[in-house]
Amino acid sequence: MMEFSFEINGGDFSNAGMISSLVKKTLKQLNIDGMIIRRTVVALYEAEVNIVAHAYSGVVNVNIFPDKIKIKLTDKGTGIADIDLAMQQGYSTASPAVREMGFGAGMGLPNIKNNTDELNLESTVGVGTMLEFTNFFEPK
Amino acid sequence: MKVIELAAKLGLKVMGGQDGLNKEVKAGYTSDLLSDVMGNVEAGSIWVTLQTHKNVMAVASLKDLSAIVIVNNYAPDQDLINQSEEEGIPVLVTSDKAFEISAKIYNLIK
């Protein structure tokens, strides 16, 4: 099993995607199917951007098992008041500056859901959010 | 069709990522919303956008895109160009608007 841990700073858009890129390279070296790699890094990238756009800081834990990858992102931030609403396509609380960059279209969490096999999202307003997902290397 | 042939036929300016000019363009996608591209673009696509910042390259790399076309003669940010060199994914610039260049690309690769 392989384990990595990273930190993310809120507002740091220039480094968003670095963890996704590293995970992509690692999964490629492990000869994981390209489709599964893309699904995993789409979900991870969206989750990274969510922390950059909405939180003060975050920690990403990546665990690669022989049959699956499990990624957990925990942030300190504003939290999500209504998770069902946040999961809806098109709903966003992103700032105008973030939207101008082409983020904040309310597609991040739906993209994460569509690209993961298992997803768990917990949040406390004013404290932060924990998002955890798993992708299996063989179709279940 | 390869990126380099497409760039030559349409007069696109190569701003970075020369190493990737032999990539095959299998499809195209036009959008300025990064999450839309993340969710919907096919691998091997050429991506037409007005976004000029570095995050564009993160999306292109993670989705295995073949090239990026920036419209309206907008200038790509220097860190986007640098990242394009690193990833080997070409960044091309056109004076065309998104609708026009998308139509031209479509006609070449359909």
User: Residue A6 has which token pair?
Assistant: 């990273």
pLDDT at B64: 95
Q: Does A77 touch chain B (CB under 8 A)?
A: no
- Any idea what the CATH number is for the domain that residue A20 is in? 3.30.565.10
Nearest to A19 by CA among A73, A77, A57, A56: A73
CA closest to A20 among chain B residues: B62
Distance CA B88, CA A44 (A): 22
For residue B64, give the chain A residue with the closest CA.
Answer: A38
| Interchain proximity B34–A103, CB inside 8 Å | yes
- State the total domains in chain A: 1
Enter the tokens of residue A132: 């955890």
Nearest-10 crossing angle of helices B98-109, B3-10? 130
Per-residue pLDDT of chain B (110 residues; tens, 9 = 90+): 999 999 999 999 999 999 999 999 999 999 999 999 999 999 999 999 999 999 999 999 999 999 999 999 999 999 999 999 999 999 999 999 999 999 999 999 99
Q: Is the CB of B62 less than 8 angstroms away from the CB of A20?
A: yes
The single-letter DSSP state of residue B74 is: P
| CATH T-level topology, domain B3-109 | 3.40.1390
- pLDDT per residue rounded down to tens, chain A (140 residues): 899 999 999 999 999 999 999 999 999 999 999 999 999 999 999 999 999 999 999 999 999 999 999 999 999 999 999 999 999 999 999 999 999 999 999 999 999 999 999 999 999 999 999 999 999 998 65
Residues of the domain holding A27: 2-136
Q: Are B50 and B43 in contact (CB under 8 A)?
A: no
Question: Residue B90 carries which DSSP code?
Answer: -
Give the residue from chain B lying closest to A108, CA to CA: B35
Q: By the CB < 8 Å criterion, does B58 face chain A? A: yes
Domains in chain B: boundaries: 3-109
What region does B24 belong to: left with phi over 0, alpha with psi -120 to 50, or beta?
A: beta
In angstroms, rounded to a whole number, what is the distance separating the alpha carbons of residues B92 and B7?
Answer: 8
- What single string gives the DSSP state of each residue in B6-52? HHHHHT-EEEE-GGGTT-B--EEEE-S-HHHHHHHPPTTEEEEES--
Write down the pLDDT at residue A138: 86
